[in-house]
Structure 1
Amino acid sequence: MTTLPQLNSFPPDAFVEALAGIYEHSPWIAARAAALRPFASLAALKQALQAVVTEASEDAQLALLRAHPELAGKAAIAGTLTAESSGEQAASGLDRCSPAEFATLQDLNARYRDKFGFPFILAVKGPTGRGLSRAAIIAAFARRLGNTHGDEMRECLRQVHRIAEIRLNALLQVEQRFGAQVMDWAETLGAISDAEGQLTCAYMTDAHRRSAAQLRDWMREAGMEAHIDAAGNVVGRYAAAQADAKTLLTGSHYDTVRNGGKYDGRLGILLPIALVRHLHARGERLPFHLEVIGFAEEEGVRFRSTFLGSSAITGRFDPRLLEQRDGDGTSMREALSAAGHDPAHIPAIARDPASLLGFVEVHIEQGPVLLERGLPLGVVTAIAGSSRYLVELTGVASHAGTTPMGMRRDAAAAAAEIVLLVEARCSGRGALVGTVGQLEVPQGSVNVIPGACRLSLDIRAASDEERLAAVDEILAGISAICARRGIEEKLWKLVEADAAPCAPALMNRLGAAIEAAGLPRFDLLSGAGHDAMEMARITEVAMLFVRCGNGGISHNPLETMTADDAEIAGEVLLGFLKDLAYA
């Protein structure tokens, strides 16, 4: 068995030889990385190898891609694959393709090479390292054919690094303490859904209640006292030896958007459970109580109100929400009662801020920043504040053929100008972003000038001052556009959420834990809202972002991450907890 200390001490030639199969037919990568030794950790070695490729010329990168074989291609048929590639393709059953699957792969291989000039590269052992199905491989192949050349080259290089990561794990016989378990739990939880063939878990549905019960059971098996509270939060407590110790809270939400992903929110519950299981198995207690909370609702899917679970914890749950009704006419009060919860007990859930050490949330990034930088983890600096509006425009519907262009009161044209106004005002302003995510022409017709249009407006920034200034300018711009075009406007404010800065001391502890794991610290803003925003009202908060793949996509079935990233996130969170224990 090869070990990291051996790799650090080998002569350069022996180091290159030991890593000969890690990057396909490309010993130059290990040769250049040899000069960067010693590596403090496996994560540091992976980062160094990746950096060599990133800093190489485009010609060298293309040569690396072209060194890889096609999937079920000529080399596989001829039996000339490297041992590593042969094992990887066999793990996903590519040596057992049906005639139809084989024909599909040959067609995809040919079309892909014609378009990009290098072979399609996919880490066929997948996010868990155990192997993707042939159907998943073919679907990824077909989807990525639509990428641009630059995007696909970057994705292929990321896949090359993932292949190398899996091969390094095998070489060093890595046994994960957290990552594999978290991925398995996410799969189990992801199979519990309100809808067939997709993942939807809305507040107080049958799937939601089953998910809560499963989380509670895993918490108890891990060594925690666990219960489901009156708001549906799943609360697991790993008690300190001293009953009067303070409490550190962690967790995230377990509800999902419609047809969502398996890791949004849920990673932040499952990973701490895995850590507690590890501590409990070793008989270790922390000098503070650790509570893992699966917040019952953050997305607002069923009753159009977000942060129901965390607002109960902070004592800010609005009882008027209990009368809100879903699309079927069921009130929130009725849904809670049907699930066995007494809404009258929700106020008792609120925590005393004086008893808390803070709140730390682990979450997939839901964006491409970490992915593009080749980093598995990042420290969140702040959660952006958000202003959301619904805008309704009223013009005059008239005949498309007989109304001169200069005499039109076209609501859709005004909406188009507003979209461009938002884009122009928010572009090039750092963390400020603006989005028109909904745009509708009610009862529109191909031969009628639109007399009405509805659109949404979402403005976010790390600084409330910057966000509100942008909102003021955009709303003034909307009024000016409508006045010039003879359009009536109505605006409804939907959300006004202040930015939530993370606590510098907690951020620094997370950053130190990342560096102790052999990774560089990288700080970034969260543009998405999280339960930590609500928790910041009663205690200091911190967030650890974990890289997600497939371009950073989230709120989508394509949302993905790897067991290795979950593993290193677990190591960092454990380091954070132990550092806090000695503070």
Structure 2
Amino acid sequence: MPPALPTAPPAALPPGLPPLPDLSALNAADLAGFVQQLAGIYEHSPWIAERAWAQRPTGGYSSLAALKVALAAVVREASEAEQLGLIRAHPELAGKAMVARTLTAESTNEQTTSGLTHCSPEEFATLQRLNADYNARFGWPFILAVRGPRGDGLTRQQIIDTFARRLGGTPAFERAECLRNIHRIAEIRLNDRFGFDPVLGRQVWDCAERLARRPDGRWVSDPGFAEAGQLTVTYGTAAHQACQQQLLLWMHECGFDEVRIDAVGNVVGLYRGEDPTAPRLLTGSHFDTVRNGGRYDGRLGIFVPLVAVRALWQAGRRLPFDLEVVAFAEEEGQRFAATFLGSSALTGQFNPAWLTQTDAQGIPLAQAMREVGLPGTMAAIAAEARDPTRYRGFVEVHIEQGPVLNQLDLPLGVVSAINGSRRFTGEVLGTACHAGTTPMDRRHDAALAVAELALAVEARARRTPEAVGTVGILEVPGGSINVVPGRCRFSLDLRAPQNSARDAMVDEAMAQLRTICERRGVSFQLTETMSAAAAPSDGALQAHWAAAVQALGLPAFTLPSGAGHDAMKLHEVMPQAMLFVRGGNAGISHNPLETVTADDGDLAVRAFLQLLARLATS
């Protein structure tokens, strides 16, 4: 990964924000006092506090967030035996220690908060069976932060469901997941110990829940998915309109001066600054989802600036420039083949041909627009194009959608670039023949040719820093167990932070495919379906993000984005830079398990406010 960017002093934040804890007494303590103040944070493991004291920076830990990261780093750098000892120091959920009332005070509070002390006989029996099965499989107790991502407790059913799901994991993954949950337990205990409530992050978390489910429990989701309890919001549906109306309401409640739905369905809010002639700052992300997706992909980048504007408005503070927040109506390409409909309208690159594209029911995009009250004309859409000279740039907050921050126990990351990508679909043609009677040296196996290509792509991507290569589709039409594959369809997806690195991977993959096919006596067809240029972050905006993160006491770790974002479209007309927020459940995204904690959401809002404060003085 690229090195961290230069440090910068904290910038002023709006008055009235929830205060951060005072760590002066902890920082002034000697070893014994330091360990005593952190007693019980990590179950029966004073060695963690001892090492954190020995490694404390000059002047002590600058923030509670810095302390949390340091404690997690001690555990990450410990030996495997020490890590397993820490895991085994924790009690089983609803286990013998709970029944015997020998839990620590902290564990008693946590298991009580989630109602584990009031299990029904059936729930208790289920947990006992799961405990036994888990211990038999892994050799250590199941660890779950039962107070959950918001901090106020998971339900017993959520605990049981998570327990059952994680029984299928590998030992290496499950050991890491136990440690991650131990860090979350420690985070909540530190909050309690030092009197910190991540209220800004709770607001973000609550927005995500409310935009996904109504107060009565019904899902704000497309037909068929809502009934199945799955989140799916595609362009122009009733669920999509419900999200628009909710976002409009929230923008009004957060103090925006102007709020509207534009010609493509974006929800646009403007928080006016002191100087109407100053270049604006643009931010936001998308609120549509993939099918059966998560609550945070895209949407987090709307909620964070909404909560930040609310804090500014409540404090009576105006920025020197206008802040424009856009909830983009479409980014995922789920209903219509075109993607980035929302951000393309702002960049002036909305393709007129998209209006005639049809969905699975044969409805053209223009008709779908008119059915929800939008003009559905190029003239109206073209009028939404922004003049780049009136903007300082575009910034976007986004869930990482990957495991890097999660594995490093870091809540925030500064994005260095959005990877450029090229995608292909292809087919290899060999000879279908009898699997029993055709000797191995007489075969022309189409599937093995693609399999060999997939391994070559994997090896090549591993040699290129921060690049990835994927053969996501490998399909044998009409395949049979006793037939050598004569055809194999496949896809190829190559991504890298620089176009040159991406294109070099493409060239080598093409050469490998030709060589493999010639050697195996098969032919191939290959069609490029998409090419997206890399979008390096603007140096100045990236440095401001780095300084904003460091002002919170966190390292400004940088990483590229392998996924595409609205920021890569805005990059075509103005400077852009992104901030990543750690995702829970090993960083999974495009999945119902996608999640962030209230604490990480709180840090994201504070980082966004720090960014605004820095831009206000630069």
State TM-score, norm by structure 2.
Answer: 0.91
Match of 2:49 in 1: 30
Which deviates more, 523-532 or 469-478? Answer: 469-478
Q: Secondary structure at the match of 1:252?
A: strand
SS at match of 1:178: helix
Structure 1 stretches of 5 or more lacking a match? none
Q: Is the aligned partner of 1:264 residue 2:297?
A: yes
CA contact (8 A) 2:21 2:64 kept: no
The gaps in structure 2 that reach 5 residues or longer are 1-19, 214-219
Paired position in structure 2 for 1:393 = 428
Q: Secondary structure at the match of 2:383?
A: helix
Taking the aligned partners of 1:432 and 1:174, their CA distance within structure 2 comes to 40
User: Residue by residue, what CA displacement relative to the aligned partner does 1:345-390 show, whole Å, maximum 9, x if unpaired?
Assistant: 1000100010000111101111111111111111110000000011
2:536 match: 501
Residue of structure 1 in register with 2:158 after alignment: 136
Structure 1's 2 and 380: CA in aligned 2 closer, same or farther, altered over 3 A? Answer: closer
Say whether residues 1:211 and 2:230 are aligned partners: no
In structure 2, the residue matched to 1:92 is: 114
Q: 1:469: how far off? A: 1.4
| Correspondence list, 1:310-349, <5 A | 310-344=343-377, 345-349=380-384
Q: 1:445 aligns with which of 471, 475, 480?
A: 480
* Matched AA of 1:215: L
Q: Matches of residues 170-249 of structure 1 in structure 2 within 5 Å?
A: 170-191=192-213, 192-194=220-222, 195-196=225-226, 197-224=229-256, 225-249=258-282
SS in 2 for 1:349: coil
Is 1:20 the equivalent of 2:20? no
C-alpha separation between the residues in 1 aligned to 2:482 and 2:49?
Answer: 64
Residue equivalent to 1:163: 185
Confirm or deny that 1:376 pairs with 2:408. no
Kindly provide the CA deviation profile for residues 236-271 of structure 1, in whole angstroms up to 9, marking residues without a partner as x: 110112222211001111111111111111000001
Matched-pair contact (CA < 8 Å) for 1:252–1:265: yes
Deviation per CA, 1:275-301, whole angstroms, max 9, x where unpaired? 001100111010111011111111111
Greater than 4 Å deviation, 4+ residue runs: none
Q: Does the CA contact (< 8 Å) of 1:2 and 1:171 recur in 2?
A: no
Alignment match, 2:385: 350
**1:22-171 alignment runs, 5 A limit:** 22-35=41-54, 36=56, 38-171=60-193
Out of 306, 312, 337, the position equivalent to 1:279 is 312
How far does the alpha carbon of each residue in 1:222-242 deviate from its partner, in whole angstroms, 9 at most, with x for none? Answer: 011211111111111101122
Change in 2 beyond 3 A, CA 1:401/1:52: closer
1:502-521 pair list within 5 angstroms? 502-521=537-556
Distance 1:537 1:19, change over 3 A: same
**Secondary structure of the corresponding residue to residue 100 of structure 1:** helix
- Contact between 2:446 and 2:486, CA under 8 Å: does it hold in 1? yes
2:328 to 295, 313, 338: 295
Whole-angstrom CA distance in 2 between matches of 1:354 and 1:241: 19
1:553 aligns with 2:582: no
Task: Report how far residue 177 of structure 1 moved.
Answer: 4.0
Deviation at 1:2, TM superposition (A): 8.3
Shift of 1:111: 2.1
1:436, distance to aligned residue in structure 2 (A): 0.7
Instruction: Give the AA of the match of 2:45.
Output: S
**1: distance between equivalents of 2:239 and 2:351?**
24
Judge conservation of contact 2:287–2:298 (CA < 8 Å) in 1. yes
Larger mean Cα displacement after TM superposition, 42-51 or 217-226:
42-51
Deviation at 1:480, TM superposition (A): 2.9
Q: CA RMSD in A?
A: 1.7
Q: Secondary structure, in 3 states, of the residue corresponding to 1:263?
A: coil
Inter-partner Cα distance in structure 1 for 2:556 and 2:542: 10
Paired with 2:76 and 2:353, the residues of 1 have a C-alpha distance of 54
Query: Match of 2:47, SS?
Result: helix
* Secondary structure in structure 1 of the residue aligned to 2:36: helix
Distance in structure 2 (CA, Å) of the matches to 1:2 and 1:170: 11
CA contact (8 A) 2:208 2:300 kept: yes
Indicate the percent of aligned positions where both proteins have the same amino acid.
57
- Asked if 2 retains the 8 angstrom alpha-carbon contact of 1:248 and 1:289, the reply is yes
Q: Where does residue 3 of structure 2 map in the other structure? A: none
Distance in 1 separating the partners of 2:458 and 2:517: 18
Larger mean Cα displacement after TM superposition, 513-522 or 420-429:
420-429
Distance in 1 (CA, whole Å) between partners of 2:594 and 2:144 is 16
Q: Name the CA distance, whole Å, in 2 between partners of 1:152 and 1:104.
A: 20
Q: Kindly state the Cα deviation for residue 550 of structure 1 after the two structures are TM-superposed.
A: 1.2
Contact 1:251 1:292 in 2 (8 A): yes
Distance 1:396 1:34 in 2: 67
Q: CA deviation at 1:410?
A: 2.8
Please list the CA deviations of residues 288-326 of structure 1 after superposition, one character each: whole Å capped at 9, or x if unmatched: 110111111111111122211111110001010111111
SS at match of 1:271: helix
**Match for residue 454 of structure 1?**
489
Q: CA deviation at 1:3?
A: 4.3
Residue identity in the other structure for 1:314: T
Secondary structure in structure 2 of the residue aligned to 1:300: coil
Counterpart amino acid of residue 90 in structure 2? H
Contact 1:313 1:350 in 2 (8 A): yes
Contact map agreement 2:21 2:63 (CA 8 A) in 1:
no
Cα separation, 1, equivalents of 2:473 and 2:253 = 44
Measure, in 2, the Cα distance between the counterparts of 1:2 and 1:359: 32
Total equivalences in the alignment? 583
Query: Which whole-Å deviations, capped at 9, do the CAs of 1:142-195 have from their partners, x for residues lacking one?
Result: 222233323222221111111011011112221334200010110111221111
Cα deviation 1:373-432 (Å, max 9, x = unaligned)? 111111110000000011022333333344444443332222222222222222222112
> Would the aligned equivalents of 2:446 and 2:487 in 1 still touch at CA under 8 Å?
yes
Q: Structure 1 residue 360 and structure 2 residue 388: aligned?
A: no
Q: Residues 499-532 of structure 1: CA distance to partner in whole angstroms, max 9, x if unpaired?
A: 0000111111111111111111111111111111
Worse overlay, 31-40 or 21-30: 31-40
One-letter amino acid of the structure 2 residue matched with residue 327 of structure 1: A
Question: Does 2:507 align with 1:472?
Answer: yes
What SS class does the counterpart of residue 501 from structure 2 fall into?
helix
